Amino acid sequence: MAHISDLIESDIDAYLLQHQHKSLLRFITCGSVDDGKSTLIGRLLYDSKMIFEDQMAALEADSKRIGTQGGEIDFALLVDGLAAEREQGITIDVAYRFFSTEKRKFIVADTPGHEQYTRNMVTGASTADLAIILVDARKGILTQTRRHSYLVSLIGIKKVVLAVNKMDLVGFDQTVFDTIVRDYRAFAAQVGLDDVTAIPISGLRGDNIASRSDQTPWFDGPVLIEHLENVPLDEEIRQQGPLRLPVQWVNRPDLDFRGFAGQIASGSVRPGDTIRVLPSGKQSKVARIVTYDGDLDLAVAGQSVTLTLEDEIDCSRGDIIASGNPPEVADQFETTIIWMAEEPLLPGRAYWLKIGAKLVSATVTEPKYKVNVNTLEHLAAKALTLNEIGVCNISLDQQIAFDPYKDNVDTGGFILIDRMTNATVGIGLIHFALRRSQNIHWQALDVNKTSRADLKGQKPAILWFTGLSGSGKSTIANLVEKQLYGMGRHTTTLDGDNVRHGLNRDLGFTDADRVENIRRVAEVSKLMVEAGLICLVSFISPFRSERQMARDLVEGAEFLEVFIDTPLAVAEARDVKGLYKKARSGDLKNFTGIDSPYEAPDAAEIHIDTTKTTPEQAADLIIQKLRDRGLIRDGWQGPEI
């Protein structure tokens, strides 16, 4: 729905053309609970004549039935659409609304004020150019005001409107307004918010929203709509920076055309410009700027285009086409991560990282610290939970091109994705590349995995035994290795208890420590495969994510998951080490199967049901499976044991 204009009746084509070419401002409203965010947006819609007659009738009826204004129009009901929001009089989810004026189009996100909905607020802020932070004139600066201001600054929003709301309830007292503005500017400077415009308003009554209020003759600044219509857009600022075009698609409709499509994140480009493709570093010149409506002589930030180059160089989805000061290239970074999932971030666990169109595997180290966003205090942390923010180092499985987030939000921001569920679990902001990532390079070796395996006359592999404590993993793995040794195969075994006596002796049994335990063992087992060995790994390894991470470290045929399937009751009845008894009595915490979960494999290559199979039979089945897959062949027999 667009702004009501006289052109609609006199020249609809001229109106549509005018509307099409209006600039678009995205902004959010945030602040503490009951500061009037939803009411303000409702008033903006009302004053810009964005409400149909039937909507107005429904609003009047709802205001009398469930409104909070004593029967008068409750503008918040235009935005708070969820039943739970209306019942509680609060905002829970992010609500997006569109409106326009003669000068500009707007998309506004009404974000929740409650702390437990921080991830919703961050989602709304991620695409905004400006933030309106509301403060109740009666209450002044609150904890949530500071919290949301910090988040706004963190996400990279540089322009803030401090809307001191409900001025009608304090008699439009200038002293109250000036005190709040002074206190807020002092805090804003601490979090890097320098561009703050303060406006005294009454969202309910409409003072200083669309027109200047007679109640504030002492205020000589712009009214809210006027400021929103004239504030410079981030897109206009981004056009002045160096060219950054993240490649979203390689367009190859036929043998004669090869173009690289994407939306320009910053800067501008013309035919003939010299560009560099990162991370490869290859250079070329722009031949054409192709669009659906024809070629362009100039393309700027915000436009989606296809570039063709003068040279046939390697450029793929996820690469960045750049000019001027090029992006950096690295695979290890310091980042800020905002965690958005119910399950905590576990250091050492592998996640997918998506930056632009690039998807890579990432591992987060233990957080350096987490931030108390209410006080800005840095707190020690071993993990991040829902809505927490922490500074962490992160390591990728390949190099990517990037800019620090403070310089470019498009090439410096990323999301983390759970590898098992494909759910977005966190968002991150890159600070800088770690220096150690620039000092470490792969060393080329003449003797490789294949040559080592050929010398031993075998194919290397990992046999990953997983199952509950007491299921028989170690017993069966031992029997399998004895058979392999007798066949002259070169093997090694990594057993959970044995490894914890040395390599992993510093780790406990929390979820985070279990993840790190498996990460280390997976890396060691990979080295054993590189040495040409058949490596038997016997670990509970309770989480699917870590078993998948271990699988991903080697080639597909080199990893076999062996599920030693024993019901909990049977494993507990065995209790060879007395661990279940300790766990049941409370003397042993975080014990798998009792007070820590075990995630059974979905599709293990080898499934051993120990209620129907003896350890010896299980070992024979596994050896036969190795034969079937061509990993071992009958031949020379080794020494008897």
Q: Smallest Cα–Cα separation from 67: which of 52, 78, 53?
A: 78
CA distance 147 to 143: 6
Tokens of 95: 């609500």
What is the secondary structure of 114-175 as a DSSP string? Answer: SGGGHHHHHHHHTT-SEEEEEEETTT-S-HHHHHHHHHHHHHT--EEEEEEE-GGGGTT-HH
110 within 8 A of 38, measured Cβ to Cβ: yes
Angle between helices 511-530 and 449-456 (to 10 degrees): 70
Share of the chain residues as helix, strand and coil, in percent rounded to the nearest 5:
30, 30, 40
Per the annotation, the verdict on 32 as an active-site residue is no
Q: Which residue has the tokens 């010896």?
A: 616
559-565/461-466 β-pairing: parallel
CA distance 264 to 233: 16
437 Cβ neighbours under 8 A, 6+ residues apart: 330, 331, 332, 333
Backbone torsion region of residue 608, taken as left when φ is above 0, otherwise alpha when ψ lies between -120 and 50, otherwise beta: beta
Q: Indicate which residue of 153, 284, 469, 541 is catalytic.
A: 541
Question: What's the per-residue H, E or C state across 547-573?
Answer: HHHHHHCCCHHHEEEEEEECCHHHHHH
Task: Classify residue 631 by its DSSP letter.
Answer: S
74 within 8 A of 63, measured Cβ to Cβ: yes
Q: Smallest Cα–Cα separation from 78: which of 98, 103, 106?
A: 98
95-100/104-110 β-pairing: antiparallel
CA distance 253 to 367: 46
Q: Which residue has the tokens 């098992």?
A: 420
Question: What's the per-residue H, E or C state across 171-182?
Answer: CCCHHHHHHHHH
Q: Which run of H or of E encompasses 17?
A: helix 12-20
Instruction: Count, in order, helices (H) and strands (E) of the chain.
Output: 20, 28
- Which residues lie across from 30 on neighbouring strands? 133
456 within 8 A of 530, measured Cβ to Cβ: no
Residues marked active site are found at 541
